[in-house]
Amino acid sequence: MHESFWDYSCRVYSQPLVSETCLALQNEHDLDVNLLLFAAWHAHTRGPLDAVTLSAAMDYSIAYSGAVVRSLRKARTWLKKQAQGMDDITMLEREGILDLRQQVKALELHAEHFQQDRLEALSAAPIEALDGATQRRAASVNLHAVLGAETMRDEALEGKLDTLLNALFESPPNA
């Protein structure tokens, strides 16, 4: 049975260390978590990314994430800081800010769902039944391909990628 990219990312994101590692890669290395999860999902369902799919996914995600997802995340983070950092606002104002933040958070999640649906649509390779070792090798290749030559590699980044790979492959894909 085929697992959609959205279902896959929701499932794996709830696994121990996956969300923590993804957020560290996002916040400390400015990486697009949806693109990283796409690379892993593609490895699970199809194997290595071909150059055309990788290029299309990168072009789309960089543009969309920059214009939509990151803008919403920035607004959500700003609202959180506003609610926490203003001593002179009333409880009603704070509740209003926090309510607006929750709405922005929901919109951000919806925007990420849209991004993932679009990334899945870009993947034209046929679905394959791959063993776990093949999936893991493909995921490593795909994640490093997403990083590309422009990403500054260091021990911390490589360590987080290893942690993510280990977390993604600790349990079987359909567990």
Of the ranges 4-13, 56-65, 75-84, 111-120, which one carries the lowest mean pLDDT score?
A: 75-84
Domain encompassing residue 44: 5-168
Model pLDDT, residue 124? 84
Model pLDDT, residue 175? 42
Model pLDDT, residue 174? 46
Does a structural domain hold residue 173? no
Per-residue pLDDT tens over the stretch 14-71: 998 999 999 999 999 999 999 999 999 999 999 999 999 999 999 999 999 999 999 9
Q: Which band of pLDDT confidence, cut at 50, 70 and 90, is reported for residue 152?
A: confident
pTM of the predicted protein model: 0.89
Per-residue pLDDT tens over the stretch 97-143: 899 999 999 999 999 999 999 999 999 888 888 999 999 999 999 99
Does a structural domain hold residue 156? yes
Q: What is the 3-state secondary structure (H, E, C) of the chain?
A: CCCCHHHHHHHHHCCCCHHHHHHHHHHHHCCCHHHHHHHHHHHHHCCCCCHHHHHHHHHHHHHHHHHHHHHHHHHHHHHHHHHHHCCCCCHHHHHHHHHHHHHHHHHHHHHHHHHHHHHHHHCCCCCCCCCHHHHHHHHHHHHHHHHCCCCCCCHHHHHHHHHHHHHHCCCCCCC
Q: How many structural domains are present in the chain? A: 1
Does a structural domain hold residue 175? no
Does a structural domain hold residue 71? yes
